[in-house]
Amino acid sequence: MIEVHHIDKSYGSLTVLKDINWQVRRGQFWGVIGPNGSGKSTLISLLSGVEKPNRGQIKLGGRRISEYKRKELSRKLAVLQQDGLPPVAYPVREVIEMGRFPFQNWRGRENSEAARQLMDEIMAKLELNELASRPLHVLSGGQRQRVALGKVMAQQPEIVLLDEPTTYLDIRHQVQFMELVAGWQREAGLTVISVMHDLNLAALYCDQLLVLHQGRVVAEGTPEQIINSEMIESVFHVKSHIVTHPDQGEPQLLLRKTDRANVK
């Protein structure tokens, strides 16, 4: 579904991504992990078509991303950034309806009973009915992120790109958000690619992981193949223990305290 061939990306003399090769099949849930500055968010920008590579090409459904017109690409692919939505004064329902942009006419309208029914379903699924007329700027971070997800759901994409979607959420809302995304992914057969900082969440919800380090792909595979003490120390420079989750069986990371006596 997505093919990445020999991608390089630089900003001036700074090389951010180097010779990236990667394939994503329909219906997969990928987590992109790696230290700060490894090129994760840049990769998402390239996949979304917001930025162009200096070398190589990215194909979606056999066509180069650059060949898609804006609305055509928006019907296939949606992006949710880590800060979700700015705290604007628009009411919740209107913000979610903005996700219908790819299907609206030149006047910005879509007179469709099916679209109204979709909005109702999204509002109910995300438990936003009580907030429908409330302006976005008075909501909590967790509520705003649910609205941001609703706007993306209204877009009805085939592919969803998430850039650190749980960064500003507390533990409860992190799990709630990932459960909503995973449920939507299963129901709609979505392809999801998410930049993740929390490796335990990535192991729980992603079926494939791509590891970036210093702008290069250093590993890819299932969480069971990727999450191990050797990889964690090599890429993140921390020591860890890996345990098996008692419910699902996925690998989970326990950090080891640094021996301060040996720190120089």
pLDDT digits (tens, 9 = 90+) for 186-218: 999 999 999 999 999 999 999 999 999 999 999
Coil/strand/helix, residue 146: helix
Model pLDDT for residues 25-63, shown as the tens digit of each residue: 999 999 999 999 999 999 999 999 999 999 999 999 999
Residue 262, pLDDT > 70, answer no
Neighbour tally for 184: CB within 10 Å = 19
Residue 105, pLDDT > 80, answer no
Residue with tokens 């996925």: 250
Neighbour tally for 92: CB within 10 Å = 25
With contact defined as beta carbons under 8 Å apart, do 141 and 147 qualify? no
pLDDT of residue 106: 62
> Which among 44, 39, 37 is positioned nearest to 19, based on CA atoms?
39
Model pLDDT for residues 84-94, shown as the tens digit of each residue: 677 788 999 99
- The Cα 243–Cα 247 span in angstroms is 12
DSSP code of residue 54: S
Neighbour tally for 104: CB within 10 Å = 16
Computed over every residue of the chain, the mean pLDDT equals 91
Confidence grade of residue 159 (pLDDT, cut at 50, 70, 90): very high
**Does domain 2-262 bear CATH number 3.30.70.330?**
no
* pTM confidence score: 0.91
Pair of tokens at residue 166: 């749980």
pLDDT of residue 107: 60
> Which among 26, 66, 23, 22 is positioned nearest to 48, based on CA atoms?
66
Helix H or strand E encompassing 188: helix 171-188
Q: Between residues 123 and 101, which one has the greater pLDDT?
A: 123
Model pLDDT for residues 133-149, shown as the tens digit of each residue: 999 999 988 888 899 99
pLDDT of residue 109: 67
> Which among 205, 202, 203, 200 is positioned nearest to 180, based on CA atoms?
205
Q: What phi and psi values does residue 126 have, to the nearest 5 degrees? A: -95, 5
